[in-house]
Structure 1
Amino acid sequence: MKAAEIGRRFVDFFVSKGHTEVPSASLLYNDPTLLFVNAGMVPFKPYLMGELPAPWKRATSIQKCVRTLDIEEVGKTTRHGTFFQMLGNFSFGDYFKKEAIEFAWELVTGPLAEGRLGFDPNMVWVTVLGPGFHPDYPEGDTEARDTWLSLGVPPEHIQGRGLKDNYWHMGVPGPGGPCSEIYIDRGPKYGAEGGPEADEDRFLEIWNLVFETEELSTVRSKEDFDIAGPMKTRNIDTGAGLERIALLMQGVDNMYETDEVFPVIERAAAMAGKRYGADHTDDVRLRVVGDHVRSSLMLMTDGVTPGNEARGYVLRRLMRRTIRSMRLLGVEKVSLTELLDVSRQCMHATYPEIDDQWERIKDIADNESESFERTLNSGTQLFDMAVAEARAAGSNELGGDKAFQLHDTYGFPIDLTLEMASEQGLHVDETAFRTLMDQQKARAKADAKAKKGNLQDAESYRELRDRGETPFVGYSELTVPTRVRGLVADGHVVDHLRAGQLGEVVLEETPFYAEMGGQDADAGVLRSDAGEFEVIDVQRPVPGLVVHTVRAGGELRPGDEVQAMVDAVHRQGACQAHSATHIIHAALRELVGPTATQAGSYNKPGYLRFDFNSSHGLSAALKAEIEARCNAAIRDDLEVSATQMPLAQAKGMGAMAMFGEKYPDIVRVVEMGGPWSRELCAGTHVLHASQIGMLNLLGEQSVGAGTRRVEALVSTDAFEHMAAERALVNQLTGTLKVQPDQLTDRVGALIEELKVAQKQIAELKAAQLLAGAPQLVSDAKDMWGVSFASKRYHDVDAGALRTLAGQVRDQFGDRSAVVALVGGSATKPALVVATTRAARDRGLNAGALVREGAGVLGGNGGGKPDLAQGGGTDAGKADEALRTVEYAIGHVVQG
């Protein structure tokens, strides 16, 4: 049975039990503690934690998930994969433990012919919370155990385990409770008898049923936490691994061999001329390819582009590990697009949006492949230097620090470094490498834990959110009478704000737009009988709650009546910029292509920036055309409308949505000129495009692989910028005594004249510098049979130094000689070392010598044995650097 059908059976079963089917959230879920959705319950967190009232009593979903904490283990075990799909059913204060267990048993063991999964009941094992682990369950979770027994599960197939295995919480204060896990016995071929307690490879967990009953106040570890009290409502939160169920139902050994992954492995093996199953090392590499290609495809589908930070870095790492694995399999020129297309065929039935994004995905993949080829070349140079250094030191070992630098800076996995080192007859200090890797992981975990800790700061906001949602009425009103619902100061709910104090105010309703969707927050004041309170920021710290940061102009208390007054000029400027953002988006899609979709934006009065998906920059002509198209739309006075409608209807109309955004069932669609610009948007806008005034496109640049950014000014800011440019042109034409239309040619001619003059000066300097070569040879010191020529130069670039060093070295002929020259600038000194063949025969390596001298300058260096270059930051130590090179020569030749 294919994985897609298994998922469909799961959802259909729970829909038949009164659950609402909830579509998978994007992998880029808006959660400050997560890079990606990593569990099926993540989109339901606000409801499980009581931050928001659940829109359904019962829900079911197939949630896309990505975990990369153990990425190095992918392919080596059957347990580790980066992308997976979590099947879940949820109850928000509705049914509880008994019903959840009965549902699970019916689905797992029910007949295939009736839409169930058809597992043999005799092969099912379960675990529950055992006795003695939790004060509220002194005899263990007897209710869960008794329910399983009532369904016919033999007592010996029910195992009690501790908090680590059978108590669930999020790792932070919030809901918690015992859980019950379902395992399938795969048979003696896979391990020992004795149930999950004995062998979790043979007894494979497929489903975890969590019974949320308690509110945790402090969490120190998986098994160490404090309980604040019972939850207001008891919830059910379950997660079943689709890939695990699929491998069991498809009769394969591991998740890599299931129908949604194995076709990629087969194609990769064919490209490499390999056979899966013939060699363990090759199999591991093929499994890495199968897993990472699917994960990369799903991340790019949800809008991620490769980069050097956060989500982009994870995607880049996955794609580069894929390329490296294919190279280790013998495929030098890797076609990521070919592999991604195989994965697309496997996944698009469940996720049709892949096809919509395919052109963009192909562009990203091609560009990342080319980029990594360049990176590999750079990394190979560093590797070659490390090999030369090891050999010069008489060592057959590559240092763990070098292997880690290759991994961390250039993305080389240790297996690639090991193979390259082996080809050079070296081995790698893996122990030191692993130590550095562990230290890096520890830092990452500490950072993640710190981020999770920030959730505790939201407790005050959740308390205020429990009192009700903050309605936004600012689409139609800029001044409204309202009442203070609550106050926050220094992270705590307070009963008053004092004059002069900085605090946060929650109102019964508000006309203030909270920063969201790229639009900056409104400005304005709250006015009461006690004074005026300047609003300096507006945010939504938890869903449904609007918080106004104010500087108090008097005393304010909950229940006080205030006039909430938005600054109308500021709001109009924000509307102009936001509407102009939509116009730029439409113009880009029209002139660049439909794949030029939004990847981020920011707008405030007078200014906007817009990020879009594209692997190619905009030519000057295209930028001018885009600016002209935007201003034409403004002059045409396109009507701007906003309509509320169901999400499905909006998507059916082709309304553009932002990747990673979670939209409610009823959404707001903003149109400009009808279908020309149609987007889901909660922001504020002008009523007619002409109210924007004008748009001035400032420039365009890359902000990451596959992502470009344009910036623009609008309204009076655009006019003032163009006026300033006109004044500059007038000044230049006056100075150069030309007409405006002649200015470009005149400046170009001056630049050419300057280039010629600079070239002549450089040639004269070089000739003068080279003329001193014989004197350097004549002045050379003789040390232990080695001639040492050295000199400090001021403001001579590294290129000229290299040329001079080569000339001086050649004039020594067959003599044993070393040349060391320092130049560069005061803040960026450069050191060049050259050696003759006779000197190299005595063990004098230019690369090793330059590293000694460059270290004194506060930097590093390297190169070939005959010519090497280094640099630093402290030119004041130039003479000391030359003496260091001299001492190093003596150390080598004297032994």
Structure 2
Amino acid sequence: MKSHEIADRWIEFFTAKGHVAVPSASLISQDPSLLFTVAGMVPFIPYLTAREVPPYKRATSVQKCIRTGDIDEVGKTVRHGTFFQMCGNFSFGDYFKEKAIPFAWELLTTAVADGGFGLPADRLWVTVYKEDDEALAIWRDDVGVPVERIQRIGKEDNYWSTGQPGPAGPCSEIFYDRGPQYGVEGGPIADETRYIEIWNLVFMQYQIDNVTSKTEFDVVGELPNKNIDTGLGLERLAMILQGVENMYETDQVRPVLDKAAALAGKTYTSTEDPADPHHIDDVRLRVVADHIRSSLMLISDGVSPSNEGRGYVLRRLIRRAVRSMRLLGVESAVLPELLPVSRDAMKGAYPIVESDFARIGRIAYAEERAFLRTIASGTARLEDAVKESKAANTGLSGAEAFALHDTYGFPIDLTLEMAGEAGLSVDEAGFRALMHEQRDRARKDSKSKKGGHADLSVFNELLSHGQTVFTGYTELEGEGKLRSILANGVQVSHATTGDEISFVLDQTPFYAEAGGQAADTGLITGDGFVVEVLDVQRPIKGLSVHHAIVREGELPADAVVRAAVDRERRHAAEQAHTGTHIVHAALHQILGPEALQRGSFNKAGYLRFDFAWGEGLSQATRSEIEEVANIAIRNNFRVSTTVMDLDAAKSLGATALFGENYGAEVRVVEIDGAWSRELCGGTHVESTSRIGSLTLLGEQSVGSGNRRVEAFVGMDAFRHLAAERALVASLSDMLKVPSNLLAERVGATVNKLKAAEKELDRLRHEQLAATAGALLGSAVDATGVKVLAHDAGEVRGADDLRGLGLDLRQRLGSDAAVVAVAGASDGRPVILIATNEGARDAGVKAGALVKLAAGVLGGGGGGKPDVAQGGGTDVSAIPAALAAVVAAVRDR
């Protein structure tokens, strides 16, 4: 049974049992504390935790997931992988253990011809939480599992919670016995290699508090609505049904592994034994197969390679796959060979990987090309480091290996391989220690910034009394009733002049920041008080929280208020938001449908728009985009909004934002019908002419495969153009040429300046060269090594010192000699030290001397044994620094 057939059969079974089939959510998690969707239940967390009211009582899905916590272990065993699919069925206060358990057994054991998976009942084992007598009784009495195949397990493995106060409950897991050739008898307790877990049923029935660890917490009561969250690992079931040894041999993964093996001229043996000579090649082939599939799926969901967040994970996956192929002996580009194979393996389950493959391939191939260039530059630096280490008769330091990794992106395993070929050892322990320090810093920084686990209990309580009704689509003023005032996150009875507060209204015309549109500002007034609204946020779906300051009077918590949005600011924001849609449509016209939105932000008078594109836009292209946008504005296209169900919107061709989680009903914004049709919850002008005008400010890269344009609209666009016109007029007056000849005159002036600077550089170098001849006589003997120490005064920078220092070293001949030249550049001291071969043979190293001198100057420096440079903060210390160099050579 193919993997996509397993998924189809799962959905068919549970829809027949009254479940709503929910499409897989994006791999980009909507939970701010998660980079990716890491489990099948993640999209349903708001329903399972009662933060939101579920639109259905029963649901089923096949959710695509990514886990990267143990990415370094992928391939070393067959149990680790990054991308996987979780089949789930969920109940939100509907059925509980009495149905969830029989459902699972029925689907697993029913014959394939009758719609099941056809697993032999006598090969299935069950575990239950050790205190869950109810689940054990259902398995034993209702389902008929022999009691000897039911095992009780403790909290560590069979109790679920979020790790925080809230819902929790026992689990029951189903295991498949692979047979005695895989391990010892005795069920999952005895051997989880022979008995592999395929299905986990979580029974959310308790409220817990005082959580100190996974196993230490207090059960404080039962949940009013008990939920079911179950998950079956699709890859594990595919492994069993397809009769293969592991997930890497299933139909969605094996084709890539085989293609990689063929490219490398290797044979895959499926070994997990590190002592097996084939193990290292098998590990690399598994890494390639896993990471290529994961990269394909991440890019299809809108992730692009970058140096942070999700983009960094994708970049790491692609680069690990490429470097694994390199270590297998393939140094040319491999993604054009491997990615289409993964596409063909996955398209049965996810047709988008085929329909969107042109974009996916363009992003992936560009990243591989960039990495191959990184390897080339890193190789050059490594070769230099190898020469230096050999000259010093040392191994490659951990710091050097870390610099190669951190600065050049050069993988440690390539460093180890290439250093080994050169006969050098590498301080791998030192490298790992530095990597650990870097991860610790990143972890602490991430923890300090993370807000995903903020206490939302007070907002959940407010939401339980009803959602905030947004009236701002049709009105900018209206009455509302205060439902709560919060100060520092705590509900208070009133607020007085000067208090900074948050509050919730039963209905509001204020737009809460969402969809890239900035929040409204304005005033709240009433009997004896004036409150200025500074920001509006939506911490949980359905609740608008206004952040404000009391300007006058006292505001009671039960007040009836008059809410008034700043009209001018709202209109300017609507101009920008509609302008964003126009820019998107213009990009589609000029560049094509691949230029899809990757993010946006718009506020009064300003917009920025990120889109998928692999190269910079020419000035002509930017002008064309700007012209198309302004023609649309001039044509006064009608802007209309319609609320419809998601399927209808998709069939209409409405553009959705990658990674966005849409509900059953969506709002479609159209500009002149099909000219622009997008899903959007923001506010807009009624017709495009109300935007006035749009002026592009510039275009830039925001990560591999992504570009950004920025623009002003309305009066801000006019002011920008007026300022540029005034600047042109001023320059024309200054240079005394008409504006149409301004570019020519400026170009000629710049060329003259460059020629003058070049002549000055020539004269300065001639002066320095003349100085060099006169300085040779100032060299002193320091126990067998000549030392020439010179203060050059004002210099343009380190390049001046380098030219002078190397010239002096050459003029001093082959006798052991050291040159130390220093000077002041922009008020800061710089120093360069150069040694010849004779000095180095005498044990004098430029790097050590420059560190000493730079320390005297109040700074630091470093370099190679032959040439090194540094700097500091104290110009007056230059004579002392030069004296310290002479003394160090003399006293060596």
CA shift at 1:93, angstroms?
Answer: 0.3
Change (3 A) 1:877 1:335: farther
1:144 pairs with one of 131, 135, 145: 135
Structure 1 stretch 186-195 or stretch 115-124: which is displaced more?
186-195
Alignment of 1:132-531 (within 5 A): 140-150=131-141, 151-277=143-269, 279-384=278-383, 386-388=385-387, 390-391=389-390, 393-396=392-395, 398-441=396-439, 455-531=453-529
1:213–1:230 contact (8 Å) kept in structure 2: yes
- Distance, in Å, in 2 between the alignment partners of 1:127 and 1:873 is 68
d(CA) in 2 for partners of 1:888, 1:321 = 47
Q: Is the 8 A contact 1:729 1:740 kept in 2?
A: yes
Instruction: Confirm or deny: 8 A CA contact 2:795 2:801 kept in the other structure.
Output: no
**1:641 corresponds to which letter in structure 2?**
S
Q: Is the 8 A contact 1:326 1:334 kept in 2?
A: no
Asked whether the 8 Å contact 2:30–2:43 carries over to 1, the reply is no
SS of aligned partner of 1:455? coil
CA distance in 1, matches of 2:839, 2:526: 86
Secondary structure in 2 matching 1:546: strand
Matched, 1:16 2:36: no
Indicate if the aligned counterparts of 1:825 and 1:875 stay in contact, CA closer than 8 A.
no
Listed one character per residue, the Cα deviations across residues 444-474 of structure 1 (whole Å, up to 9, x for unaligned) are 6666766777524211111111111112121
Take 2:223 and 2:855, find their aligned partners in 1: how far apart are those partners? 61
CA displacement at 1:492 relative to structure 2? 1.9
Q: Assess if the C-alpha contact under 8 Å between 2:31 and 2:452 holds in 1.
A: no
Work out whether residues 344 and 354 of structure 2, in 8 Å CA contact, stay in contact via their aligned partners in 1: no
Partner SS state of residue 457, structure 1: coil
Q: Which residue in the other structure is 1:134 paired with?
A: none
Tell whether the 8 Å contact from 1:776 to 1:790 is kept in structure 2 after alignment. Answer: no
- Secondary structure at 1:497's aligned position in 2? strand
Measure how far apart 1:428 and its partner are: 2.9
Task: Note the C-alpha offset of 1:408.
Answer: 4.2
> Quick check: 746-755 or 3-12, which moved more?
3-12
C-alpha deviation, 1:870, in angstroms: 5.0
* d(CA) in 2 for partners of 1:228, 1:443: 37
TM-score normalized with structure 2 length: 0.94
Compared CA separation, residues 438 and 527, structure 1 to 2 (3 A): same
Pick closer, same or farther for the CA change 1:81–1:427 going to 2, 3 Å: same
The RMSD of aligned alpha carbons is 2.3
Distance 1:27 1:882 in 2: 60
Identify if the C-alpha distance between structure 1 residues 605 and 767 changes in structure 2 by more than 3 Å, giving closer, same or farther.
Answer: same
User: What is the 5 A alignment of 1:27-66?
Assistant: 27-66=27-66
Distance 1:776 1:519, change over 3 A: same
Does the CA-based 8 Å contact 1:192-1:202 persist in structure 2? yes
Gaps of 5+ in 2: 270-276
- Once the two structures are superposed, residues 501-534 of structure 1 have per-residue CA deviations (whole angstroms, 9 ceiling, x without a partner) of 1111211111111000010111111222131221
- How far residue 388 of structure 1 moved from its aligned partner, in angstroms, is 4.8
Shift of 1:405: 4.0
Amino acid of the structure 2 residue aligned with 1:175? P
SS, match of residue 540 in structure 1: strand
Instruction: Say if 2:656 and 2:679, in contact at 8 Å, map to a contact too.
Output: yes
AA in 2 matched with 1:668:
R
- In 1: Cα distance, 2:69 partner to 2:803 partner: 49
Structure 1: distance between partners of 2:695 and 2:873: 41
In the aligned structure 2, how far is the partner of 1:879 from the partner of 1:72?
A: 52
Tell me the distance in 1 between the aligned counterparts of 2:516 and 2:741.
41
**Are the equivalent residues in 1 in contact too, given 2:182–2:194 (CA < 8 A)?**
yes
SS at match of 1:308: coil
Instruction: Tell me which residue corresponds to 2:273.
Output: none
In the other structure, the counterpart of 1:137 is: none
Give the alignment of 1:716-755 within 5 angstroms: 716-755=715-754
Which range moves more in the overlay, 218-227 or 642-651? Answer: 218-227
Q: Could you say if the C-alpha distance between residues 441 and 189 of structure 1 is closer, same or farther in structure 2, counting changes exceeding 3 Å?
A: farther
Question: How far apart are 1:829 and its partner, in Å?
Answer: 5.2
- The code of the aligned residue for 2:801 comes to L
1:649 aligns with 2:648: yes
Q: Distance in 1 between matches of 2:576 and 2:873?
A: 44
**Per the alignment, in what secondary structure is the counterpart of residue 543 of structure 2?**
coil
Residue 215 of structure 1 contacts residue 231 of structure 1 at CA under 8 Å; is this kept in 2?
yes
Contact kept? 2:32, 2:451, Cα under 8 Å: no
- Distance change in 2, residues 1:867/1:402 (3 Å): closer
Normalising by structure 1, report the TM-score: 0.94
The question of whether the paired residues in 2 share the 8 Å contact of 1:598 and 1:612 is answered with yes
CA distance in 2, matches of 1:620, 1:872: 43
Measure, in 2, the Cα distance between the counterparts of 1:247 and 1:828: 67
How many pairs are equivalent?
Answer: 881
2:770 equivalent in structure 1: 771
Q: Which residue in 1 is equivalent to 2:272?
A: none
| Cα displacement (A) at 1:654 | 1.5
In structure 2, the CA distance between the partners of 1:190 and 1:681, relative to structure 1 (3 Å rule), is same
Which residue does the alignment assign to 1:100? 100
Given residue 678 of structure 1, which amino acid in structure 2 is its aligned partner? R
User: Secondary structure of the residue that 1:556 maps to in structure 2?
Assistant: strand
1:387 CA displacement: 3.8
CA distance in 1, matches of 2:525, 2:210: 40
CA deviations on 1:527-565 (whole Å, 9 max, x unpaired) are: 221312211111100011111112123333343211221
Counterpart-to-counterpart distance in 2, 1:82 and 1:400: 29
Amino acid of the structure 2 residue aligned with 1:545: L
In terms of mean alpha carbon deviation, does 272-281 or 633-642 score higher? 272-281
Instruction: Say if 1:468 and 1:425 are closer, same or farther in 2 by CA, change over 3 A.
Output: same
Distance 1:653 1:402, change over 3 A: same
Distance 1:356 1:876 in 2: 68
- Alpha carbons of 1:503 and 1:119: their partners in 2 closer, same or farther (altered >3 Å)? same
Change (3 A) 1:806 1:128: same
Query: Which residue number corresponds to residue 112 of structure 1?
Result: 112
Comparing 805-814 and 705-714, the one that deviates more: 805-814
Moved more, 435-444 or 659-668: 435-444
Find the residue that maps to 2:504 and give its secondary structure: strand
Query: CA distance change for structure 1 residues 851 and 389 in 2, over 3 Å: closer, same or farther?
Result: farther
* Counterpart code for 1:497: A
Distance in structure 2 (CA, Å) of the matches to 1:848 and 1:86:
58
Cα distance, 1:843 vs structure 2: 4.4
Report Cα offsets for 1:631-654 as digits up to 9, x if no partner: 111001111111111111111122
> Residues 687 and 457 (structure 1 numbering): CA distance in 2 closer, same or farther, change over 3 Å?
same
How far apart are residue 767 of structure 1 and its match? 0.8
Where 1:300 maps in the other structure, the secondary structure is helix
CA 688–427 in structure 1, closer or farther in 2 if over 3 Å, else same: same
Partners of 1:849 and 1:262 lie apart in 2 by 57
Unaligned runs of 5+ in 1: 131-139
Q: Matches of 1:321 and 1:854 in 2, distance apart?
A: 40
Q: 1:518 to 1:729 in 2, by over 3 A?
A: same
Percent identity over the alignment is 55
Which has the larger displacement, 349-358 or 256-265?
A: 349-358
Rounded to whole Å, the distance in 2 between the matches of 1:869 and 1:358 is 50
State the distance in 1 between where 2:256 and 2:283 align. Answer: 14
Separation of aligned partners in 1, 2:401 and 2:148: 50
Partner-residue secondary structure (3-state), 1:551: strand
- Residue 180 of structure 1: CA displacement? 0.8
Label 1:204 to 1:438 Cα distance change in 2 as closer, same or farther (>3 A).
Answer: farther
Moved more, 563-572 or 364-373: 364-373
Preserved contact between residue 167 and residue 207 of structure 2 (Cα < 8 Å): yes
- Rate the CA distance shift 1:451–1:811 in 2: closer, same or farther, 3 A: closer
